[in-house]
Amino acid sequence: MNLSLLLLASIALLQINNTLAFSSHRSMGKRQKKRTHSEIDPQPDDENDLTYVEFYSGIGGWTMAFEEALGRLENQEEPPLKPKRITALDHSDLCMRVFEHNFRTKRKSFQIQIQGLTKKQVETWKSKFWFMSPPCQPHTRQHSNQEKDLSDSRSTSFLHLCTLLSEMEESTLPQMICCENVVGFETSNSFEQWRKALAERNYHVGHFHLTPTQVQLPNDRPRYFSVAVQANSLSSSKDASLYLSYLQHEDLSKEEETIKIQSSIPELGVNVASEEAETADAATISTFLDTADNSDLRIPEKLLNSDAAWCFDIVSPNNRRSSCFTHSYGGYVRGTGSILYNCADSEGKKLIKPEEREFQKDWMKDFDKTKLRYFSGMELARLFGFSERFSFPSSCTPKQQRKLIGNSLNVRIASKIVELGLRCMQLDGKSKRPKS
């Protein structure tokens, strides 16, 4: 009898273990299953949260610009403005690693294809803000045939966003969209598709050509910027009227309707561009340099002895300017960014721009070549307006750092664009945005 009871108990225990194992296996399967965007990014409970998505996020320039802009407004708003990132999207694993290194939150960034997003996924987010820097390669000086940009594979994801914006339910549209690209983007067919989508969805848009020297940073990096605010979210306050004058709703049914490019925002400290103002107001290069000697960044002597070295744009710590840095900085010489002559007795006549001097074989004979070096990744980050809390993970090489910054945007300029949009909006939690 005791043996029978023991046998029955063993069978029952075995069944329980199998059931638990099956349940555990199913749970593991659920955890390993590819998550949908709605599962990744549940909607926040607080309607006052400023939810945002950063497309083509790179290393998080727009996120930092958003935080900086909100910091300038935080004492003027009640309840407090709380940014909440829904997600950041980029195809580069390296960018994502640097992003997560700097912005450690529960809302992760994801290495996915933007062109794979569906209307339902984006509508589920109900994000209030979109930030983006679409691929610039189809619109650079090296790709002057703008009529072919629509067929360029690098434009596919941006054109997909145009389509999504056109098709989304009105209640799920972002209240504000900020965009950055190279100067010339505004003459492309891709831009016309974007402009059309914004007009159809009743956005008021401001277009700008701005460069960091206009906000006292000693670097020349002219870029196209735009800020678009949905009509339902525009403020009706008198305080906003000054900023609203920078935005307009474009009626594309009128053939004569041309894009209005603006070049300054004096009310926000983005001054009118002029060479005199730039050199007078900008900080010196020395302000942005590392304390380390960075001897490992010296220009190779073989390169300095080549004819190509004549194309170097050389600046000293006392200069208040530097040329535009690109992702090719450190790999190519011409047009990729300035190098530093870190010598106390440098003379101004040696450091004139390459396009303003005559080529001579011995033009470098008066230079101490051991004092010529590249800028470090962190020095570039400072010139690009990134805050001191930004850093690179230890696994990121100097070459990778320079490339990442060269592909990024200027945070200080971008923050002014965000601030302009915010000042045009009603941010008191009582938005006139249609209810879903």
The catalytically annotated residue of 95, 136, 179, 424 is 136
CA distance 33 to 39: 11
Whether 310 and 354 have beta carbons less than 8 Å apart is answered as yes
And the tokens for 98?
Answer: 């640097």
Residue 66, classed as helix, strand or coil, is helix
| Structure token pair of residue 371 | 């004092």
Position of tokens 């075995």? 14
Burial class (CB within 10 angstroms; exposed 0-12, middle 13-18, buried 19+) of 264: middle
d(CA 323, CA 220): 5
Contact of 331 with 354, CB cutoff 8 Å: no
Q: Evaluate whether 128 touches 51 at the Cβ level (below 8 Å).
A: yes
Residue closest to 223 by CA, chosen among 261, 177, 260: 261
What gap in Å lies between CA 431 and CA 126, rounded to an integer?
Answer: 14
Residue type, 270: V
Number of other CB atoms surrounding residue 94 within 10 Å = 18
Active site residue 136: yes
Active site residues: 136
